[in-house]
A = this chain, B = another copy of it.
Amino acid sequence: MAGPISLGEIASRLGGRVVGDAGVLVEQVASLEHAQGRDIAFFSSARYKAQLTATRAAAVILGPRAEPLTRLPRIVSDNPYAYFARVSQLLNPAGAPQPGVHAAAHVEASARVAASARVDALAVVGAAAEIGERAWIGAGCTIGEAAAVGADSRLHPSVVVYAGCRIGKRAVVHSGAVIGADGFGMALDAGRWLKVPQIGRVLIGDDVEIGANTTIDRGTVDDTVIEDGVKLDNQVQIGHNCRIGAHTAMAGCAGVAGSAQIGRRCTLGGAAVVLGHLSICDDVHVSAATVITRSIRKPGTYTGLYPFEDNASWARNAALLRHLGKKRKKRNG
């Protein structure tokens, strides 16, 4: 923790308007429900009004309309969640790692590891690989031959980066992520699958976050590209030759099949799927568990989700659904 810090000083650094005692000190963020002592919480949704009333937080971050809902010292911001993020970053600075290559790491002689970088025990850095300034390679990671990890990037333990793949600056990559495995390129030939060598790379821009056990495949011949600021949650799958536009975010278990092109500032809800070779324009939002089966050329929110019901109602409706066609035929016949 970097605190304590007064509300006044927070506002002078991050903007926002203090209401109440600007000298109140805070030293950690907390939820409304569990805040105590010098904790600062945030309020962003009317559904938590009761918690706002009951909170023992020292101070609260909230939006302009919520200002009168509490008498606690507070900071008013037009985007209280983003403000909360900045306050938490202030109180929980990540800091540069202690530099050095652990004695039990294996770094090939031709690899270039910046003096300010850190490589933990049992990590492997391949020939001609590059590890940038202040980058942190966690325990058990494998960085393939001629792969690169940019400055200030952090790879948590057990990440694998295949040969030739490049990760930009300030990345956060969580454990179990696999960057650059072969795309699923198989040609059917007389009933057998013939492997198409996957000789493209994965190129990842700056400020990208990649969740635990997420997989991003290398391209068949061209590269798979993840642009700046993309955020991928856990267990996301990105097929070969995809391009994911800048600042697009995907929630857990989303999947994008090969050669799909996804625009900038898009979002995919959890378990959403985009089929292969499709093109999605900028500013498209795909709801959770929705399967996109054709290209989208107009920004907006798209959904395709079977509504759940109690099992008996579902069974009845699903049977009727399957008979829609037959009923129509009879009616028309």
Contacts and interface: CB of A to CB of B under 8 A. Distances in A.
A221 B252 contact: no
B196 A88 contact: yes
Contacts of A30: 221-222
- How many copies the complex holds: the figure is 3
Given A106-B121, A140-B124, A309-B303, A328 B320 contact: yes
Nearest to A228: B192
B106 A106 contact: no
A186 interface: yes
A142 B124 contact: no
Contacts of A313: 322, 325
A110 interface: no
A286 to B, nearest CB: 8
B182 A172 contact: yes
B310 A321 contact: no
B82 A189 contact: yes
Contact of A237 (B34, B140, B235, B305): B235
Contact of A157 (B124, B185, B286): B124
A69 B290 CA distance: 38
B106 A124 contact: no
A189 to B, nearest CB: 4
Given A253-B237, A288-B273, A307-B304, A29 B199 contact: yes
A213 to B, nearest CB: 5
A106 B85 contact: no
